[in-house]
Chains A and B, each alone.
Chain A
Amino acid sequence: MGALGHYIEDEGIATTGISLVREHTEDLRPPRFLWVPFELGRPLGAPNQPDFQREVLRKSLLLLESNSGPVLIEDFDEEAPIGEDRSNENVEGWACPVNFPSPPSDKSEREAALLAEIESLSPWYDFSVRKRGGSSVGASRLSTKQIATFFIKFLDGKVENPQPEISLGNFLKIASEDIKAWYMEAATAQPGYSTSVEIQNWFWGETTAGAIFLDLNSVFEISEDPLLQYMARSSFVPRNQRFRLK
């Protein structure tokens, strides 16, 4: 991020921005940045908090009017609000209200279990689309059930890239993000406040999809494809969930 600011400012256009990792911004010394104490992935603080988001944006933009510089890092000291304003709801933890069985230990049952799991969450995903006016799912251009079937076939050794214009590794990556986004949009549409860590723990620890993804990571590890090996090391299972890997 700091590099973009440096090069664009060098071309004569003033830049400002948000810094999530102060240490990186201090290293690079770009023109102006507002450091914020928010979770990675939430540079404006919290979803559905327009007043708070506007204040973060305003403070960063106002750095453009400062005469001191170059290299200006100011701090935004206010912590992000906790999720949406749902003060009337129970915010003591979160559990997915959809009950589905534990991931099957018999691998021959996993496709049926995965498709059933998707079916049971579908009403919540559909509700999410209606509530939010859309979805971030779609980069793979396959339906969630098609992605699910693709992953099962991949685990069974039937490798066929549905998007030959990109590498198999890149397709696996995009498809995995689509299915995770589908699950997480369904989960966050449900009642009750949920933190990002609770949602991650639910997906990786309780769902059949999560169990299948952990199996996929093991397959990637022993693949001859360097990209799949790289994904297995650092770009498939988040660091805070890698303890689940066998």
Chain B
Amino acid sequence: MVRISDLPPDDAKHLLSKKCQPFDSSPWVTGLPLKERRVAMITTAGIHVAGEKTFGFADTAFRIIPGDTKSSDMVMSHTSVNFDRTGFQQDLNVAFPIDRLQELADANEIGSVADFHYGFMGGGSKPSDFEKTAREVAGLLKKDNVDAVMLIPI
């Protein structure tokens, strides 16, 4: 129910205050059919492997999430308090659908699942603040032969 019109006035006002400037260019990459693609996931939910450095305020760095990490080994250290966490606490897949992605691979709907996924923390930074680390992750994705990225917010 994230229709702005359905939100409490304070939440709607806060979200609408975060106006973003469009980028100057519009890159568009085409490729193989989905069933031949190798897919990685990137979350901005502040999800990472337990024991790794937690996300701080306005943190634009990323954390590597190995594809074979058990869901019970993942934690969330996002700094915002204004979204629901009880869903994630009950089922990782509602925020980071690692089991669902593997099921699509098992059913040959996608080619394969990447060996590594990536966790960012989306709050408190401007879009352009992520350029350096996003391009760094792109280099890592290429080394993993990834040709499709699934981006998941929180």
Contacts and interface: CB of A to CB of B under 8 A. Distances in A.
A208 interface: no
Nearest to B80: A235
B66 interface: no
Given A3-B131, A41-B95, A134-B70, A9 B82 contact: no
Interface string B99-131: 111011000011000000000101000011011
B94 A43 contact: yes
Contact of A61 (B20, B128, B150): B150
Of the listed residues A33, A48, A139, A196, the one surrounded by the most CB atoms of chain B closer than 10 A to its CB is A139
Contacts of A19: 153
A194 B3 CA distance: 22
Interface in B31-70: 31, 33-34, 37, 39, 42, 44, 50-51, 54, 56-57, 70
**What range describes how many residues of B lie at the interface?**
35 or more
B148 A42 contact: no
A46 B137 CA distance: 29
B76 A136 contact: yes
A172 to B, nearest CB: 11
Of the listed residues A36, A41, A237, the one surrounded by the most CB atoms of chain B closer than 10 A to its CB is A41
B89 A188 contact: yes
A207 interface: no
Given A14-B30, A27-B20, A136-B75, A57 B149 contact: no
A65 B84 CA distance: 32
Of the listed residues A20, A43, A44, the one surrounded by the most CB atoms of chain B closer than 10 A to its CB is A43
Given A13-B146, A40-B82, A4 B44 contact: yes
Given A133-B72, A239-B82, 17 more contacts: A8-B42, A13-B138, A13-B148, A17-B150, A20-B2, A21-B2, A21-B15, A29-B26, A39-B1, A39-B84, A42-B84, A43-B153, A64-B34, A79-B1, A139-B50, A177-B76, A177-B77
Interface of B: 1-4, 8, 10-11, 14-16, 18-23, 25-31, 33-34, 37, 39, 42, 44, 50-51, 54, 56-57, 70-77, 79-91, 93-95, 97, 99-101, 103-104, 109-110, 120, 122, 127-128, 130-131, 134-135, 137-139, 141-142, 146-154
Interface of A: 1-21, 23-24, 27-31, 33, 36-50, 53-54, 57-58, 60-62, 64-65, 67, 69-71, 79, 84, 132-139, 141, 166-167, 169-170, 173-174, 177, 180-181, 184-185, 187-188, 194, 196, 199, 227, 230, 235-240
